[in-house]
Amino acid sequence: MPANRIHLIRHGEVHNPGQVLYGRLPHFRLSDRGHEMAALAAQSLREERRPISALVASPLLRTRESAEHIQEALGLELVTDQRVIEPYNIFEGRKLTAKHIALRPHLLYHFRNPSKPTWGEPYESVLNRMLEAITELSDSVIDGDVAIVTHQMPIVMVQRHAAGLPLAHNPAKRNCSLSSITSLEFKNGKLVQVDYREPAAALHAVDKGAV
């Protein structure tokens, strides 16, 4: 029997003084405000009083730290899953600004096909691994919900799939803020988004490092 509901939780604000695209680079931890945000997301899940049977996180530091707040709030075991990791990106470690690109025009080659996208992992690849993880994790619990702490792009891919929208999109129009919670259910075998909330919106965090 699939889980009653699947919650996709984005990590909190990252300590990123260089304002680079951090992607899968190691050692990018939560900022102090990021920990506050993750705690608010955990509090929101606890106050909803829905039984959560499994807690999974991407293996990257920022997601594991975010998930630890949920682990503490709900007394769950935390398991990592490589399938819900951030997509790889050719620009990892760089500042993706107009000035940076102007000084390095060879980088424009990586923007030749934004619908794929040619700067990193294809959208279809991100979606397929997320759906595989969601389905397997959902089927692994006898009852209750599943919480998955992951990243913006994987969540957006699932959101768009559930809404029947093309995977290619304008990154500026994503609806997936830091420490947001996107909740989905399987209805007649189809994944459907049933809720979206931003428990940490009042903290007004800005993310300069998302893929």
The answer to whether position 1 is within a domain reads no
Q: Note the pLDDT of residue 127.
A: 98
CB 62 within 8 A of CB 14: yes
Helix, strand or coil, per DSSP, at residue 112: coil
Q: Is the pLDDT of residue 171 over 80?
A: yes
Residue 103 CA, chain-centre distance (Å), reads: 31
Mean residue pLDDT across the chain: 93
Q: What is the pLDDT of residues 122-161, one digit of tens each?
A: 999 999 999 999 999 999 999 999 999 999 999 999 999 9
CATH of the domain at 146: 3.40.50.1240
Helices (H) then strands (E): counts for the chain: 5, 6
In a domain, 125, yes or no: yes
Task: Give the total number of structural domains in the chain.
Answer: 1
Instruction: Provide the strand spans (E) within the chain.
Output: 6-10, 52-57, 78-80, 145-150, 181-187, 190-197
Could you give the percent of the chain with pLDDT greater than 90? 79
Lowest mean pLDDT segment, chosen from 74-78, 95-99, 138-142: 95-99
Specify if 157 maps to a domain: yes
Phi, psi of 7, deg, nearest 5:
-105, 120
pLDDT for 206:
76
Span 183-204, pLDDT tens digits: 999 999 999 999 999 999 999 8
**φ, ψ of residue 197 in degrees (nearest 5):** -145, 160
Q: Establish if 95 belongs to a structural domain.
A: yes
210 is a domain residue:
no
| Model confidence band, residue 102 (pLDDT cutoffs 50, 70, 90) | low
The confidence band for 182, taking pLDDT boundaries of 50, 70 and 90, is: very high
Answer whether residue 59 is part of any domain: yes
**Within-domain flag for 178:** yes
Whole domain around residue 192: which residue ranges? 6-203
Cα separation, 184 vs 52, whole angstroms = 14
Please report whether residue 211 resides in a domain: no
The amino acid present at 138, given as its one-letter code, is S
Q: What is the pLDDT of residue 203?
A: 94
